[in-house]
Structure 1
Amino acid sequence: MKRCFALAALLLASACDIETGEAPKYAFVSPYGPRVNPVNANEFEVILSAGGAFDGYWCGASDYARRKLGAAWTDRVYVASPISQSVTTDRRSAVRFTLDPAALGITPVNKTFSAGLQVGDNMSVTQANTRCSYARPFTVGGRF
């Protein structure tokens, strides 16, 4: 019984800000796990939980673009900054994305396939959404 309470306390504490003890605030939480905050009118930031899968960044970007920004499945999502310190939270790693690279002065990288997280890397909302099967927490084989 003590073990269950200890595990619950650990999970609760890990969901809170270490210094303030408060749960971080996010504008959007994807059902797949990634959290997203807008940075400005043209940029949003995807934040993963500790130990989140690399594909979670693309998953969060596609989910936010589709559900919150109204992007079409054929619209493209562009990396606006590589993995770096979050600008909207105290998290150590986040990736910023945009749907409008010209507004940020970003030159899109033209590749047939892009899996990276360098400025200009991009994929369609549909392609990025396929990464969600790998980012779902607590699943076997990446599927529910």
Structure 2
Amino acid sequence: MRIILMALLALPLPAHAFTARNGMEARQVDATDIAVPFEAGRTDTDYWCAAGDLAQQVMNQPVATRIWRASPKPREAGQGILFTLDPARQAQGAGLSQFGSGPRDGALSVGQAVASHCRIIIPFIRDR
């Protein structure tokens, strides 16, 4: 019985959803990729927030770690966005426009994705 339990623990577990501080879900796909499923009414920066928050809190990445968009633009209706920490997997021309100093590689740092793009969504509660 102990051998069976040890064998089961050695198998990879399915990826569980992570809820980012803006309420969006994100999943770690592998060592470098993060999937953020489609959510109606969200902007691209909301997706960057979810990816950055997961990279920081789940993957324990430092704030200087760069995140690229791996899904090409434009995305089709109802499609989420795949992000990557691997610059070789980035989708050319799919990053955000950046102003100011710093690298212009289409990526955001984990810290910038969280600090600049994570806004807490407070649901509207109606009186009944």
Shorter-normalised TM range: 0.5 to 0.7
Gaps of 5+ in 1: 1-24, 86-90, 115-119, 140-144
Q: Secondary structure at the match of 1:77?
A: strand
Q: Is 1:96 matched with 2:86?
A: no
The one of the two structures with greater contact order (alpha-carbon pairs below 8 A, sep at least 6) is 2
Deviation at 1:30, TM superposition (A): 1.1
Q: Quick one: percent identity of the two aligned structures? A: 29
Rate the CA distance shift 1:26–1:137 in 2: closer, same or farther, 3 A.
farther
Counterparts of 1:6-85 in structure 2 under 5 Å? 26-82=16-72, 84=75
Larger Rg computed on CA atoms: 2
Q: Give CA-to-partner distance per residue, 1:62-120, whole Å, 9 cap, x none.
A: 100000111101111111113646xxxxx922111111223x3x477799817xxxxx7
User: For the Cα contact (< 8 Å) 1:101–1:107, is it kept in 2?
Assistant: no
Bigger proportion of residues as strand: 1
Contact 1:78 1:108 in 2 (8 A): no
Aligned to 1:6: none
Give distance in 1, aligned partners of 2:96 and 2:56: 23
Output the CA distance in 2 between the equivalents of 1:107 and 1:98.
10
* CA contact 1:59–1:128 (8 Å) conserved in 2: yes
| Number of equivalenced pairs | 102
Residue 113 of structure 2 aligns to a residue in which SS?
helix
- Runs ≥4 residues deviating over 4 A: 107-112
C-alpha distance in 2, partners of 1:73/1:60?
14
Q: TM-score, normalised by structure 1?
A: 0.57
Root-mean-square deviation (CA, aligned residues, Å) is 3.2
Moved more, 49-58 or 65-74: 49-58
State the secondary structure of the residue aligned to 2:82.
Answer: strand
Whether the 8 Å contact between 1:35 and 1:48 is mirrored in structure 2 is no
Unaligned runs of at least 5 residues, structure 2? 1-14, 100-104, 124-128
Give the distance between the partners of 1:132 and 1:52, measured in 2 at CA. 12
